[in-house]
Amino acid sequence: ASAKKLAAATAVRDHYPKSPPKYIGIGSGSTIVHVVASIAALDPSLTSSTKFIPTGFQSKLLLLQHNLQILDIDLLPPGESISVAFDGADEVDSQLNCIKGGGACLFQEKIVAVQAEKFVVVADFRKISKTLLTPTTWSSGIPIEVVPSSYPYVTAKLQAMGATQVVLRPGGKAKAGPCVTDNGNFLLDSVFPTLQEGENVVQELAEAIKGIVGVVEHGLFYGGSKGWKGRPAVGYFGMED
């Protein structure tokens, strides 16, 4: 956890605005717990007038625990943007492309990230790959949120596109039957062969997936001017825990 803690503290030091921001996005997962703790430890003048936008119930409860003000993303006033959205990732490549969605909140995370001026992914050394879908880093594939009635059709389409494994994410101990997202959808965790290096490789796969009828959103977050308003920055470290 110390690698996560260090990545979180450094990301907040380097990327939390120096003057009080109106809106800050807060993602989901275990690393973000340390990000929120670091933000809560800042001088109150930097956080007391800020509205923090959660990306799911875990994120919301985390903010409430730290007595930080919350605003649901659908209440962001028209024309306003989020100064910085902080979030975790399941895998990050050398171009700052990410696989996200291990926590099943990828849709909420992405609808916040795309309305942020800067998207800061906080990940420790264990998440870093040369190219995405490196099994030794992240072996569960790309989480894809789909409308429940479409999952057999989307599964077949993904397999035809080259997915080597497509798993309807189970509810596990939490629930009999499939995992159901906060939006009432299913998740297909889809493993593809490790991506090659090259311009737009991630974007092309992302667009092909998004083109399948029934797909709501996917967990490929790609960097650079094409993907996000600002280039995502990653606070991560190559040191052992």
Q: Does 102 bind ligand DER (CB under 6 A)?
A: yes
Written as six digits, the tokens of 153 are 């059709």
DSSP state of 183: T
Termini Cα distance of the chain: 7
Kindly provide the b/e burial profile for residues 38-62, where b requires at least 16 CB atoms within 10 angstroms of the residue's own CB. Answer: bbbeeeeebbeebbbbbbbebbbeb
> Among candidates 145, 129, 193, which has minimal Cα distance to 165?
193
Strand partners of residue 92: 98, 128
Residue closer to ligand DER by CB (options 143, 157) is 143
Contacts of 204 (CB under 8 A, 6+ apart): none
Interacting span for ligand DER (CB under 6 A) from 60-68, 95-103, 153-161, 188-196: 95-103
The smaller minimum CB distance to ligand DER, of residues 109 and 217, is found at: 109
218 binds ligand DER (CB under 6 A): no
Catalytic: which of 91, 109, 145, 217? Answer: 109
217: contact with ligand DER by CB under 6 A? no
Q: How far is the CB of 114 from ligand DER (least distance, A)?
A: 15
Cα diameter, the chain = 54
Strand order in the sheet with 91-92: 91-92, 98-99, 220-221
The only residue of 12, 24, 28, 62 in contact with ligand DER, by rule CB under 6 A: 28
Q: Which of 12/157 has CB closer to ligand DER? A: 12
- Rule CB under 6 A: say whether 235 interacts with ligand DER: no
**Is-catalytic flag, 117?**
no
**Residue of 21, 54, 101, 214 interacting with ligand DER (CB under 6 A):** 101
87 interacts with ligand DER by CB under 6 A: yes
Q: Does 12 engage in binding with ligand DER (CB under 6 A)?
A: no
d(CA 23, CA 34): 19
Q: Which residues are catalytic?
A: 109
Q: Which chain residues interact with ligand DER by CB under 6 A?
A: 27-31, 87-90, 100-103, 105-106, 109
